Amino acid sequence: MADLATHPVGQPFSAGVSFGTDGIRGLVGGLMTPALAMQVGYWGGLVLQGEGPVLIGRDSRSSGWMLSAALEAGLTAAGREVWNLGLCPTPAVARLVQQQGAAGGVMVSASHNPPADNGIKLFAAGGSKLARQQQELIEAGLRGELPAAANRCGSSHQRSDLLANYRQLLREGLADNQLSGRRIVLDLCWGSATACSSELFRSLGAEVVELHGSPDGNAINVGCGSTHLAPLQEAVRQSGAELGFAFDGDADRVLAVDGEGRLVDGDHILFMWGSALAAAGQLPKQLLVATVMSNLGFERAWCSGGGQLERTAVGDQYVHQAMQNLGAALGGEQSGHILCSHHGLTGDGLLTALQLAALLKPGESLADRRNQSFVSYPQRLKNVRVANRERRQQWQQCDPLAQAVARAEAEMAGEGRVLVRASGTEPLLRVMVEASSQAVVDHWIENLAAIAERELNN
C-alpha cells in the first residue's frame, strides 16, 4: 500500500490511476489512500485555472474525513485557498463553485457504491465536470510526466455556512406553501441528502416522513436509497403518502415512487418535466437528451407527440455536453441524474425532487401524472463481474458474445434492443435487454449474461 512517506507531494505516484466516467473511485486502503488524495489535490491545484478558492465537500463515508484532509494538504501545497463545506450533496459543490466564482471544486464520494469505497470528483470553474484534457494533465502529473512546482503555502477555511446559499438556490421559483398538504417520504440513504433535504421540503409546506435520515458512513447505500427502493415503497404505502423520493449516497440523483409504490424513474421524470416545460414554451425544439439506457417506450411516446430525443453514452457528462451542443433545456439518465439548463445544468437529486413535486397541481397525484406518461417496454439489466479490464473494455472482440448479441437483435427485428457496456466505475460488464415481450427479455438476458460470464472470465 502506498504511504505518504514514500510519495512526497509532487513526486511520481502511480501509472495505474485514471479518471473513470465519474472521477476516481475505488476501495479505501486499496486504490483510495491519503497518498493518492494528496497527489490528486496537488496536481488538481496546479491544473485548475483562476485565482479563486477551491471548494471541498464530502458524503458521510467514514473515510471522507481522511481523504478530505489529504486533498486539502495537496491543494494548499499547490498554493490554493481551500473552502471546506463539510457534509453536503455533490451538486452543492458544483452550484457553489459557480455562485462564489471559485477556481474549482472537489467532492469526496463514491456515489452509489458501498461504504468501503470512496472517490474523488473534480469540478472546474463554473461548476462543470473537469474536462478530459485537464483530467489527462492530472494523470500525467501522477505518473511523474510533468514538472512539479515549488511547494507553496495555501490556506484552508471551514465554510459550511455556504450551504444556506445552496438551499436558497434550490428554493428559487418555489413558494413557501408550494407543497402544503402533501405527505412525502424521503429516503436519505444515510448520506449527503441528510444535510438539508427534510428541512427544504418542510420549508415548502410538506409533511415529511424520513427514512435513513442521519449521516452514517458505515450504512450509506446499504439496503436503501435509489439502488434499493423496497424500503421507500413500503413506507409510502404504510404511511399513506402521495409520493416518495430516494437519493443516492451523494444526492446527485433521485428516483421516485408514486402513492401506489410504483417506480418513477429518470425516463418518467424527463417525460413529466419535459411536458411541463414544453407547455410553458420553455423546451426548445421539444428536445430531450437521454442516454442509450433510456426506455424505448419513453422514446416512442415522446416522439409520437412531436418531440425529439437525442441519445448519448451513459454518463451525465455526456448528457451535459450534448445539451450544450444542441441547446437543449432538459436531459438526464434513467438512473435519476437529471440536468436542466434553467437551473445551471448541474445534475441535482434534491432540485429534481423539488421540481417534480412542484409540478403537481392541487388535487393531482404523482400516480395521475405517471398514468399519463408512457408504458415502459420490459427491460432487464444484469451485471457480469469481469476482473480483467482489457477484456471488459474490449468485449466486442469476444466473437461468441458479439455473435450472440447480433443474433438477439436480428430476432427482435426492431421490437427490442441489446446494450452491452463496460462500467466506468466498477469491474462489471453491464448487459441490458429490452423488448416488447417480457419472455423475450428474460430469454436473451439469461443467454447473453451466461455467455459473457463464460467467455470473458476464462
- Label residue 109 left, alpha or beta by phi (over 0 means left) and psi (-120 to 50 means alpha): beta
Summarised one tens digit per residue, pLDDT across range 71-88 is 999 999 999 999 999 999
Return the active site residues. 111
CATH number for the domain whose boundaries are 4-163: 3.40.120.10
- What residues does 104 pair with on adjacent strands? 54, 124
Q: Is the pLDDT of residue 294 over 70?
A: yes
User: Which DSSP helix (H) or strand (E) runs through 90?
Assistant: helix 90-100
Q: Is the pLDDT of residue 144 over 90?
A: no
Beta strands in 272-352 (DSSP E): 287-291, 308-312, 330-332, 338-340
State how far the alpha carbon of 13 is from the alpha carbons of 132, 354, 368, in Å: 20, 43, 55
- What is the C-alpha R_g of the chain? 22
Count Cβ atoms within 10 A of the Cβ of residue 348 and give its class: 0-12 exposed, 13-18 middle, 19 or more buried.
Answer: buried
Residues of the chain with CATH 3.40.120.10: 4-163, 172-371
CATH 3.40.120.10 fits 172-371, yes or no: yes
Beta strands in 273-394 (DSSP E): 287-291, 308-312, 330-332, 338-340, 379-385
- What residues does 54 pair with on adjacent strands? 82, 104
- What residues does 211 pair with on adjacent strands? 187
Single-letter residue type at 235: A
Mean pLDDT of 282-306: 95
Q: Which residue carries 465536470 as its cell?
A: 129
> What is the spatial distance between Cα 82 and Cα 80, in angstroms, rounded to a whole number?
6
Q: Give every strand in the sheet of 287-291, ordered side by side.
A: 308-312, 287-291, 330-332, 338-340
What does the block give as the cell for 144? 511523474
Residues of the chain with CATH 3.30.310.50: 379-456
pLDDT confidence tier of residue 6, bands split at 50, 70 and 90: very low
- Phi, psi of 163, deg, nearest 5: -65, -25
What does the block give as the cell for 423? 462500467
Distance linking the first and last C-alpha atoms of the chain? 29
Q: Which CATH superfamily is domain 379-456 in?
A: Alpha-D-phosphohexomutase, C-terminal domain (3.30.310.50)
Summarised one tens digit per residue, pLDDT across range 14-24 is 556 878 777 89
- Label residue 8 left, alpha or beta by phi (over 0 means left) and psi (-120 to 50 means alpha): beta
pLDDT of residue 9: 66
Query: How many residues are listed for the chain in this entry?
Result: 458
DSSP states of 138-175: HHHHHTT-SPPPPP---EEEE-GGGHHHHHHHHHTT--
Summarised one tens digit per residue, pLDDT across range 240-284 is 999 999 999 999 999 999 999 999 999 999 999 999 999 999 999
Summarised one tens digit per residue, pLDDT across range 344-392 is 878 899 999 999 999 999 999 999 999 999 999 999 999 999 999 899 9
> What is the spatial distance between Cα 450 and Cα 447, in angstroms, rounded to a whole number?
5
Question: Which has the minimum average pLDDT: 5-9, 202-206, 244-248, 445-449?
Answer: 5-9
Q: Is the pLDDT of residue 1 over 50?
A: no
Q: Is the pLDDT of residue 54 over 60?
A: yes
> What is the spatial distance between Cα 189 and Cα 180, in angstroms, rounded to a whole number?
24
Do 333 and 319 touch, CB atoms closer than 8 A? yes
